[in-house]
Structure 1
Amino acid sequence: MSDQSRRMEGEGGGELSILYRENERWLARSLERRFGDQDIEDLAQETWLRLASAVSFSDVRHPKAFLLRIATNLASTRRRRRELALRAEAGAAVRDCIDADQTDRVMLIQIVLGLPESLRDVFLLSRIDGLTNAQIADRLGISPKTVEWRMTRALAHCAAQLRR
């Protein structure tokens, strides 16, 4: 006799004890086929505990179907709880990424705004507007070599700020 069966008899559950002995292995195999071997022992034990606290056994016409229904409901509840926990974790990770992205954007904007105006103009025309050095030179009325020099200085300034 298993420990579970002894406990059921000790609690005055003679009918339950008989039902348990007759269906213990069947329930375990059925749960394993249906749900795999993950947490089967816990699921089976919880099924018997639910059964013990819920019914008068004389009212149960199809004990195997009733046991399987209880186990299926318990497994569904567990699955939903796991999914909710995973969603909560994923949501927290996304919020963390969004917060980090927003923080990074604010920091980058501050760095760019902190550039001297001549360097900032070249940087924005190149990186934001996508203009070539020659196009920037034409627009600002400076030589392409000056555009290159200013861009080098702007990038060095940004890199130094990011290292802080």
Structure 2
Amino acid sequence: MSKYKKFTDEEKQDAVMRICDDIATGSPLTQTLQSYGVVSISTFNYWLNQNPELKLLYHDAQKHREQHLFDEMLRIAYSESPKEIKKYRNGELYETIVKDSVEDRRIKINTIKWALGKMNPNKYGEKVIVDDATSSPITAIRFIDVNAADD
């Protein structure tokens, strides 16, 4: 007897739809797969390759995840991240200060920026990519004299 659950076609479709919902809201794939009892990423990819509609649903969920992460990055940037700083003297607490932890926010934002750059380098990457197919060559340059009188 196998220790892994066998999914019916209906259960596969239901699981993929739920997994895609979680991914669209920023959940990591491996964590989401485990929560729905899917044993491996390769099993999930096999399911997607067997059903083009589910594959399209997954790609759509990935795009939504990008937007969710981008929104989360902005939320982190504009919200405070309070951090308690406790000061001790002679082994005894004498002061507790609560202040915004800019460094914590910076680390979170940089992590999200890195992930977005890997997910969609054309949109969120740090390199500007010029696509020859969409850019047109310069055909003529016209020089004008800015000092000439306008008559």
Q: Same fold (TM over 0.5)?
A: no
- Give the structure with higher Rg (CA): 1
Which structure has more relative contact order (CA 8 Å, sep 6+)? It is: 2
TM-score interval, normalised by the smaller of the two chains: under 0.3
Higher strand share: 2
TM-score w.r.t. the length of structure 2 is 0.25
Higher helix share: 1
